[in-house]
């Protein structure tokens, strides 16, 4: 059985990334040494997101889908990156 991290009642905001998603995969920088959770917020379009090691590429056939106007939290490991493809403005924030 896998281990899960519940959303913290309060977390420190770390580095934030804002993307205008397109048909090409875009990635964050490497997550910091204290980042175990990210917040993903979409606005006017759907995206496909993948989390992995540097060089990970998101696409519409293997990424996890986020709909319009969605905010959700994802467990990550320090040193990973997130990559996305889709449409609309997307914010990704490292939670610490």
Per-residue pLDDT tens for 28-78?
999 999 999 999 999 988 999 999 999 999 998 888 999 999 999 999 999
| Residue 17 parent element (H or E) | strand 13-21
Q: 57 vs 10, 13, 34, 62, 63, CA distance in Å? A: 31, 25, 23, 10, 9
The number of C-alpha atoms within 13 Å of 47 and in the hemisphere containing its C-beta is 31
- The model carries a pTM of 0.86
For the chain, which residues make up each domain, given as ranges?
Answer: 13-95
Per CATH, the number for 13-95 is: 2.60.120
């Amino acid at each position: 059985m896998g281990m899960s991290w519940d959303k913290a009642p309060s977390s420190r905001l770390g580095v934030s990334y804002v993307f205008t998603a397109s048909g090409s995969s875009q990635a964050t920088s490497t997550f910091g040494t204290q980042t175990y959770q990210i917040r993903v917020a979409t606005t006017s379009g759907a995206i496909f997101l993948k989390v992995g090691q540097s060089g990970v590429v998101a696409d519409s056939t293997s990424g996890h889908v986020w709909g319009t106007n969605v905010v959700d939290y994802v467990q990550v490991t320090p040193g990973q990156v997130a990559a996305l493809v889709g449409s609309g403005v997307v914010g990704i924030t490292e939670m610490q």
